[in-house]
Amino acid sequence: MTVATACETYMTTMTAAEWAAVADNPRQRDTVSRASKAKHLDVLEPTHTIVSIAELPDGKRFKLDGHTRAYKWQADPKLAPPFPLDVRVYVVADLAEVKRLYMHFDGKAAVETAADAVFGGMREARISPKSEFVRRARFAAALTAAYSYICGDLVKVSHYERVRYFHKQIRSLDTFVGATKRMCSPATCVYLMAHRKHGDAVNEFFLRFIKDEGVKDGKRRDCVQWFTELMSEYVKAARGKGPVFNHYVGHGLRCVEMWLNDNATMNTRLAAAVDPHKYGVTEK
């Protein structure tokens, strides 16, 4: 068994206002969303007045827990304790230790959801989502699949690392995706992979997809329309029927590649799929 390096600790006290001023942990999740659900904090309990922070050698401090409490106490001072908080301070060597310790605090960190981890990864990467789609961070499956296709199925990393790997793609997607519900897992996976290979040149394709602007003329369809029908089929197939995920990603990537080559091309049948495991492998 590996034992973590012990760190010095000491106790101090802070007012609720002083606690709120302590920097949030770099991996803190969506505090606003969590606060709206934290009805148990509307009644002050003794356990709410005990908090923890990490302190770097230069004196800078970061919360290890109590982010939601700080937010609610600032939003409604009547909820804040009228007496000092008991604060346990963990003296750590670097920011990596600040992030590691965070995972042992904040209540449900031990069973952190995928969306929590993606949001924490974006916070760590200093991505401040403007769109509802990105802010909700419900694309962990797409991140996992895209990373696996490019870097290999045997490379096991956290969602934090996957967010860092695709941070440019997430930032770019955030500029136009809005609150769409059309970006299902394979569609988002295709975007991450195609944008990593081609950059912003793919954004117009996905914007047309989101706006349902594919072209259909009899039996002929443009690449955006083929992509639209493919992803609609996936949404139905995801209920337990239909081909595997690779099928939708592979054909989706082919649609994007063909559109980049000629965005006006019309076809009567879906083109052969790209092998997603071989797409962009040089982009590691």
- What pLDDT score does 283 carry? 41
- What pLDDT score does 104 carry? 76
- What pLDDT score does 4 carry? 47
- Between 103 and 62, whose confidence is greater? 62
- What pLDDT score does 284 carry? 38
- What pLDDT score does 1 carry? 36
Exposure string (b/e) for 151-168, b if CB count within 10 Å is 16 or more?
Answer: beeeeeeebbebbebbbe
- What pLDDT score does 111 carry? 42
**Average pLDDT in the 15-32 region?**
86
Share of the chain above pLDDT 70, in %: 86
27-31, 42-46, 207-211: least confidently modelled range: 42-46
Q: How far apart are the first and last CA of the chain?
A: 32
CB 72 within 8 A of CB 38: yes
Q: Please state whether beta strands 220-222 and 216-217 pair in parallel, antiparallel, or not at all (unpaired).
A: antiparallel
Band (pLDDT 50/70/90 cuts) for residue 239 is: low
**Average pLDDT in the 151-167 region?**
83
pLDDT at 6 over 70: no
Question: In whole numbers, what is the pLDDT of the chain averaged over residues?
Answer: 85
- What pLDDT score does 103 carry? 80
- Spatial distance between the Cα atoms of 166 and 169, rounded to a whole number of angstroms: 5
Share of the chain above pLDDT 90, in %: 49
- Between 271 and 172, whose confidence is greater? 172
pLDDT at 164 over 50: yes
Among 34-43, 65-74, 170-179, the range with the most confident prediction by mean pLDDT is 170-179
Exposure string (b/e) for 89-99, b if CB count within 10 Å is 16 or more?
Answer: bbebeeeebbb
Band (pLDDT 50/70/90 cuts) for residue 63 is: very high
- Spatial distance between the Cα atoms of 199 and 202, rounded to a whole number of angstroms: 7
- What pLDDT score does 113 carry? 67
**Average pLDDT in the 74-100 region?**
86
- What pLDDT score does 208 carry? 97
76-80, 129-133, 231-235: least confidently modelled range: 76-80
- What pLDDT score does 46 carry? 67
